[in-house]
Amino acid sequence: MEDSARMPCYESTRGGAPRVDFASALCTGLAPDGGLYVPDQIPLLGESAWRAANSFSKMAFEVLAPWLEKSVPAGALRAALTDTLNFPVPLIQLEGGEWEKVHVLELFHGPTLSFKDFGTRVMARLLSEILGGEQLTILVATSGDTGSAVADGFADRHNLRVVLLYPYGQVSPTQERQLIVQRPGVQAYAVRGTFDDCQRMVKRALRAEDLKKRLAAANSINVGRLLPQMLYWIWAVVSGGFRNALFCVPSGNLGNLTAGLLAALAGLPVRRFIAAHNANDGFSRFLAGEQSPFSDSVRTVSNAMDVGRPSNLERIRALVDPARMREWIVARSVSDDATYASMRRVYEASGYVADPHTAVGLEAVRQYRRTTGDTGCAVVLATAHPAKFPEVVRRSIGFAPEAPRRLATVWERPTRSSFLGTSDRDLQAVLQAARHVHA
């Protein structure tokens, strides 16, 4: 706090909307001109953040307070972070020659076993605080893990309802089960289309004049989700004592990478970022200077990263100039075959069981090290628990990891979901109905 003259405001990446405070950016998600909110200045990481680094939630408070303090009173923020960030974030050092100095930061020990728990839990809590007596419907398009994290984080809050859209038949059985277990205030819809269709439907609904005031997005386009994701980047550097590590992020919509870039802009020492992609490699094509790098998403075994047009690229371009982007970020694409091989290779060398998304990240680091000779310290963000993908893991290493208790229980609970078409009308009907439940 001592480092910044004033709190940041949030402005649209498209420059056609007024600046707003954190509370408004949180409640609307998308800016009125269709852009994404970005901070108009970056509060630098202060001494107080490093001093508090023996406790995740204490550090979280010191880091986040300068970004939003006027919108959320300090006491409420402290309580929100202590209540929501109440799971471990282990940093594991891999063994085996090839993996020397490679660490895995396990971000999957929250309630739904993916890193998305960080952003969604904090966002839900802050939103609920800020809304008070008002009601809001949260609309989410999910390629798998977002939906369950949002559903879990937002369920059972008196002022929030959740409408989830996921592409039917394109999430794993375990992921689907996590999405459709009954939760108070949450409705799940299986959309007959792709994830990109779901995302388009959400964006259009958020822009529709008559719906605007009652709807918000909880995708990584919401700053309320993005800011808490900075925390574990900082935590990794602190708990590993890293001076200048290379970070590798399994990437889809590029929200996680954007959070890392924000942390780096705030002063976190990062040598380089590797954005690890599956066959959906538009971002690497973009960095290579291709004219139209993006296309519809294709399906892969790391399905939470099956994103054809990553929405957070718009933010990255607003935050980082092209020269710096090329210097800071490299992107690698990893095929499904290489993903299976990666799980096997890591397991055989070090006994570590990685989920398919983390395996993409590990393979990207391996390739990067081979082609650049840069074998310095590296941190791979482990984005999901391997037990969420038992079929894929078994196919690769011959057995399925044991499911933690909270995952096993989703098979015992009742479920609820409906089908939905891809037209705006289909979605409008659902949203009108959700509104009646409010009233």
Ligand X SMILES: *Cc1c(COP(=O)(O)O)cnc(C)c1O
Cα–Cα distance, 308 to 297 (Å, whole number): 4
The backbone torsions φ and ψ at residue 271, rounded to the nearest 5 degrees and listed phi first, read -70, -45
**For ligand X, the closer CB: 48 or 280:** 280
Q: How far apart are the first and last CA of the chain?
A: 41
Which are the contacts of 426, defined by CB distance < 8 A and separation ≥ 6? 420
Of 19-27, 188-196, 244-252, 403-411, the window that binds ligand X (rule: CB under 6 A) is: 244-252
Site string for ligand X, 65-104 (x = CB under 6 A): ----------------------------------------
**For ligand X, the closer CB: 130 or 331:** 331
161 binds ligand X (CB under 6 A): no
Of 65-73, 126-134, 181-189, 250-258, the window that binds ligand X (rule: CB under 6 A) is: 250-258
**For ligand X, the closer CB: 15 or 173:** 173
Of 82-90, 234-242, 246-254, 416-424, the window that binds ligand X (rule: CB under 6 A) is: 246-254
Within residues 165-224, the interface with ligand X by CB under 6 A covers 220
**For ligand X, the closer CB: 78 or 299:** 299
106 binds ligand X (CB under 6 A): no
| Token output for 323 | 């020269």
**For ligand X, the closer CB: 43 or 252:** 252
Interface residue with ligand X, options 250, 260, 386, 390 (CB under 6 A): 250
Cα–Cα distance, 3 to 87 (Å, whole number): 30
Of 190-198, 245-253, 320-328, 425-433, the window that binds ligand X (rule: CB under 6 A) is: 245-253
304 binds ligand X (CB under 6 A): yes
Nearest to 126 by CA among 216, 57, 23: 23
The SS3 assignment for 29 reads: coil
Look up residue 415 and give its DSSP letter: B
The CA-atom distances, in angstroms, between 145 and each of 62, 67, 203, 217 are: 28, 26, 19, 15
Note whether 142 and 152 are within 8 A (CB).
no
**For ligand X, the closer CB: 220 or 350:** 220
The SS3 assignment for 102 reads: strand
Cα–Cα distance, 122 to 164 (Å, whole number): 18
Q: How far is the CB of 115 from ligand X (least distance, A)?
A: 7
Within residues 311-370, the interface with ligand X by CB under 6 A covers 357
| Token output for 3 | 């480092």
**For ligand X, the closer CB: 142 or 239:** 142
116 binds ligand X (CB under 6 A): yes
Q: Which amino acid is at 10?
A: Y
**CB neighbourhood size of 359 (10 A):** 33
In the complex, the residues that contact ligand X under the rule CB under 6 A are 114, 116, 144-146, 220, 250-256, 304-305, 357, 383-384
